[in-house]
C-alpha cells in the first residue's frame, strides 16, 4: 500500500509542534521552491524573493499551530504565502508614497532658476528640515540613504562601496527611509505646533 503523502506531512507538523527542528527544516526544504515562486511573482527580483521567502517561512512557523489538520497543508501554505506577499507589497507601496510625500532628494540640490523671495524661503526651510532629519539618523542608515537617494548609486555600487552584502544595504536603506520620514513628520509637528496643520500635511482625516 502506497503511503499517503498527507500522513507524512502530518507527522512532520506534529514533530515541529513538539519542538523538532529537523522536522521543520525538512518542511522548509520540501516547500521552499513553491513559496519562493509565489514571492518572486510579487517582487520580480531573485534576492528580494529569497528574503521574502525567509520571512514567510518564519511567519508560517509561528502560525503552524493554527493549521487545520483537515485541510491540505500545501494549499494552506500557498494561501498564507500569497497573503503575506500582498501585505509586503502594500507595505512597500505605502513606504514609497510616504517617502515621495515627505522626502524629495531634489530639495538638497540648488534651484535651476531664481525663485521669488517667498519661494526661496520655503525652499530653504525644506532643505533645513531635511538636513535636520538626516542628522538624527544613525550613521549607518544616513550613509545608506545618502548614497541611494541623493547620490543615486545602485544597490550593487553601494554594496561595493560599503563592503556589505546587497541585502544588508537594502535593509539599511529601507529602515533609513522609514526613520527619515518619521523624523520629518516629527519635526514638522514641532515646527508648526498645530494639530490641524499636521493632519492636513499628513493627509489624515
Range(s) of the domain holding residue 90: 5-99
Look at residue 36 and give its three-state secondary structure: helix
pLDDT of 190 > 60? The answer is: no
Q: What digits encode the pLDDT tens for the residues 36-62?
A: 998 888 888 888 888 888 888 988 888
Cell of 79: 494561501
**Region 167-179: what's the mean pLDDT?**
88
- Which pLDDT does position 33 carry in this prediction? 92
Picking from 99, 128, 149, the residue at the C-terminal end of a domain is: 99
Number of domains in the chain: 2
**Region 6-32: what's the mean pLDDT?**
87
pLDDT of 19 > 80? The answer is: yes
**CATH code of residue 147:** 1.10.10.10
Q: Comparing 87 with 32, which gets the higher pLDDT? A: 32
Residue 30 forms part of a structural domain: yes
pLDDT of 14 > 50? The answer is: yes
**CATH code of residue 73:** 1.10.1740.10
**Region 110-129: what's the mean pLDDT?**
56
Rounded to 10 degrees, the C-alpha dihedral 119/123/128/131 comes to 170
Rounded to whole angstroms, the Cα distance separating 144 from 162 reads 9
Cell of 115: 525663485
Amino acid at each position: 500500500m502506497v503511503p499517503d503523502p498527507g500522513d507524512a506531512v502530518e507527522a512532520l507538523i506534529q514533530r515541529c509542534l513538539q519542538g523538532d527542528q529537523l522536522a521543520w527544516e525538512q518542511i522548509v526544504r520540501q516547500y521552499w521552491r513553491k513559496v519562493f515562486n509565489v514571492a518572486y511573482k510579487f517582487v520580480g527580483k531573485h534576492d528580494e524573493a529569497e528574503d521574502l521567502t525567509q520571512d514567510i517561512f518564519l511567519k508560517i512557523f509561528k502560525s503552524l499551530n493554527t493549521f487545520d489538520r483537515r485541510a491540505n497543508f500545501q494549499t494552506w501554505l500557498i494561501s498564507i504565502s500569497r497573503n503575506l506577499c500582498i501585505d509586503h507589497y502594500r507595505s512597500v507601496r505605502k513606504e514609497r508614497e510616504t517617502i515621495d510625500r515627505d522626502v524629495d532628494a531634489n530639495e538638497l540640490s540648488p534651484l535651476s532658476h531664481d525663485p521669488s523671495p517667498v519661494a526661496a524661503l520655503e525652499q530653504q526651510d525644506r532643505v533645513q528640515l531635511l538636513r535636520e532629519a538626516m542628522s538624527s539618523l544613525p550613521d549607518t542608515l544616513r550613509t545608506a540613504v545618502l548614497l541611494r537617494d541623493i547620490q543615486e548609486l545602485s544597490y550593487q555600487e553601494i554594496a561595493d562601496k560599503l563592503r556589505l552584502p546587497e541585502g544588508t544595504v537594502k535593509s539599511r536603506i529601507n529602515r533609513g527611509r522609514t526613520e527619515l520620514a518619521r523624523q520629518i513628520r516629527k519635526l514638522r509637528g514641532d515646527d508648526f505646533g498645530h494639530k490641524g496643520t499636521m493632519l492636513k500635511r499628513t493627509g489624515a482625516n
